[in-house]
């Protein structure tokens, strides 16, 4: 039976997987949530928008006759990943996560590891700093609890509502970024602290390299915990899994 994959995307790894599948002539659909105005073109056909929870995802898997699900979402997209696990279990569908290992502090790094966004906010208590808050848009409201800081923000789209922080400078840019570019940004804005999600991968790591160059401290937010699941960290492992994974449904 013909394989037909659903890739839950939104990451550099999902893009690379899409390219490999298109090259191998394997039928796949890349799915995005629709978080940004102009998502980058992907090498596979794509769909944009939520499925409507587990129920909606299960219906989609059946209607689209998906034979394998690859969860290549960002490590902080925990709700999507949880829904995918439940839906695949319920539909007896082969399911694999393509994710990236967490970053580890290197010699010369000055990291304060915190468990989640509220803990990162608490870590910012104290006198005014100049903070590069490179965690996107969705979690900004939590940092309104620490209005004393100047915040350098990097957003994919221009903000369409007033920002919840009184002192900001907004950069509108999408990654991947470069260490030289991020170092110049930090120097230009006299940044003395960086706040980052532990995304892993290469697309967002430039700021950590820049922080190391400038000997700046980093508040590093651990990724949300997820149930135990089958995980790989590179496209080749996904392709190998496809060759050996369960027989597609219907045979």
- Which residues of the shown chain bind ligand NAP in the complex (CB under 6 A)? 8-11, 31-33, 35, 50-53, 56-57, 73-74, 76-80, 83, 136, 197
What's the N-to-C CA distance of the chain in angstroms?
7
Q: How far is the CB of 229 from ligand NAP (least distance, A)?
A: 14
Based on the shown chain and the rule CB under 6 A, indicate whether residue 163 belongs to the binding site for ligand 3Y8: no
Q: Distance between CA atoms of 150 and 165, rounded to whole angstroms?
A: 9
Closest to ligand 3Y8 by CB, 231 or 248: 231
Q: Quick one: what does residue 39 bind among ligand NAP, ligand 3Y8, none, with the CB cut-off 5 to 8 Å set by partner type?
A: ligand 3Y8
Core vs surface per residue 163-195: b (16+ CB within 10 A) or e: bebeebeeeeeebebebeebbebbeebebebbb
Q: How far is the CB of 35 from ligand NAP (least distance, A)?
A: 5
Paired strand residues for 196: 220
Based on the shown chain and the rule CB under 6 A, indicate whether residue 12 belongs to the binding site for ligand 3Y8: yes
Based on the shown chain and the rule CB under 6 A, indicate whether residue 86 belongs to the binding site for ligand 3Y8: no
CA 162 from chain centre, in angstroms, equals 24
Closest to ligand 3Y8 by CB, 36 or 54: 36
Based on the shown chain and the rule CB under 6 A, indicate whether residue 217 belongs to the binding site for ligand 3Y8: no
Angle at CA 37, nearest 5°, toward 31 and 41? 50
Based on the shown chain and the rule CB under 6 A, indicate whether residue 201 belongs to the binding site for ligand 3Y8: yes
Q: Quick one: what does residue 88 bind among ligand NAP, ligand 3Y8, none, with the CB cut-off 5 to 8 Å set by partner type?
A: none
């Amino acid at each position: 039976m013909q394989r037909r994959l659903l890739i839950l995307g939104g990451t550099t790894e999902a893009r690379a997987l899409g390219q490999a599948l298109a090259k191998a002539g394997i039928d796949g659909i890349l799915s995005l949530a629709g978080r940004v105005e102009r998502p980058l073109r992907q090498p596979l056909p794509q769909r944009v928008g939520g499925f409507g929870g587990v129920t909606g995802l299960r219906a989609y898997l059946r209607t689209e006759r998906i034979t394998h699900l690859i969860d290549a979402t960002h490590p902080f997209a925990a709700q999507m990943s949880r829904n995918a696990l439940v839906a695949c279990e319920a539909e007896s569908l082969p399911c694999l996560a393509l994710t990236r290992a967490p970053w580890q502090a290197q010699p010369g790094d000055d990291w304060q590891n915190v468990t989640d966004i509220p803990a990162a906010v608490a870590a910012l208590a104290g006198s005014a700093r100049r903070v590069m808050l490179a965690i996107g848009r969705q979690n900004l409201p939590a940092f309104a609890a620490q209005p004393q800081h100047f915040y350098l923000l990097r957003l994919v789209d221009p903000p369409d509502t007033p920002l919840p922080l009184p002192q900001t400078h907004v950069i509108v840019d999408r990654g991947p970024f470069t260490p030289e570019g991020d170092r110049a940004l930090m120097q230009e804005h006299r940044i003395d602290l960086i706040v980052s999600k532990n995304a892993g991968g290469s697309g967002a790591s430039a700021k950590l390299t820049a922080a190391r160059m400038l000997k700046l401290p980093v508040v590093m937010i651990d990724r949300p915990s997820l149930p135990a699941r089958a995980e790989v960290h590179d496209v080749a492992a996904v392709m190998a899994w496809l060759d050996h994974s369960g027989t597609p449904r219907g045979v």
